[in-house]
Chains A and B, each alone.
Chain A
Amino acid sequence: MVTAAEVSAGLAAAETIVNAIIKVAPAIERGVVSSIPYVQAIAGLIGGKNATAEEIDAVLARINAEVDLFLSPLPPDDGSTTT
């Protein structure tokens, strides 16, 4: 028999999880959306489409820019994010 208190506790936990996901959803969505062209290109290759030198140059430029973004330094650790 589930008690009202247990139901309330479950709802509170669910709310915490949903709030956490909503908070970071834009970042995750950006990551998924920006991966789409790469996934489509892989699908094209699997489907028999041949790559061109121009496509390779364009993808390399895009990837290098995205890597630059990833390599930008993290904020210094003041001890609160030592993980």
Chain B
Amino acid sequence: MRKPVAAIAVVCGLTLAGCQTVALPSLNLNSVAALNTVYGIQNAFGVAVNSANAYRAVPLCRTGTGPGVANICAKRSVIERLQAAMRKARLAVNNLVALQKAYPSVDITNALAAARSALNVVQHILASGA
């Protein structure tokens, strides 16, 4: 139940972030849209991080075993891949926030794309751990 809810929330956040990048007619509106875009992707990332922490909190699978209904465990290799992806996603999201704060009227499309891409990788690895 947890994974579908988390996945829907991440997808909603990413979709929302994508929807907010349309060019708007005034500087003020653009700033509002940029804030909402950043906030949307941040919160999608927040759901992903919490899902990852929940995954990490379950016992590690024993060698030669895998997760299943009767063996709830986390694969070491999945956690390690998630850690690498999470480092990149954190950097991308922090860069996105920093850019938006330093240059509120600048187009954040590229930084946003990088953050979305990094977050998609995290989401795929999370899904693979099921």
A residues lining the B interface (CB < 8 Å): 13, 16-17, 20-21, 23-24, 27-28, 30-32, 34-35, 37-39, 41-42, 45-46, 50-53, 55-56, 59-60, 62-64, 66-67, 69-71, 74-75, 77, 79-83
Contact A63 B39 (CB under 8 A): no
Contact A71 B60 (CB under 8 A): no
B43 within 8 Å of A (CB atoms): yes
Contact A66 B42 (CB under 8 A): no
Bound-state Cα–Cα, A41 to B10, Å:
12
State how many angstroms separate the Cβ of B6 from the closest Cβ of chain A: 6
Interface pairs A-B: 10 shortest CB-CB: A31-B54, A51-B39, A27-B57, A38-B46, A81-B60, A38-B43, A35-B50, A83-B75, A83-B61, A41-B43
**A residues less than 8 Å from B111 (CB atoms):** none
**CB contact between B9 and one of A23, A38, A50 (< 8 Å): that residue:** A38
Q: From DSSP, what is the main secondary structure of chain A's interface residues?
A: helix
Bound-state Cα–Cα, A81 to B76, Å:
7
Chain B contact-residue range equals 35 or more
B112 within 8 Å of A (CB atoms): no
Question: Most A CB atoms within 10 A — which of B43, B52, B66, B79?
Answer: B43
For B57, give the chain A residue with the smallest CB separation.
A27
**A residues less than 8 Å from B65 (CB atoms):** 83
27 contacts between A and B (CB under 8 A): A24-B58, A27-B54, A30-B57, A31-B50, A32-B50, A35-B50, A39-B9, A39-B43, A42-B12, A42-B47, A45-B39, A51-B38, A56-B42, A56-B100, A59-B39, A59-B43, A62-B46, A64-B90, A66-B53, A70-B52, A70-B53, A70-B83, A74-B79, A74-B80, A80-B62, A83-B63, A83-B66
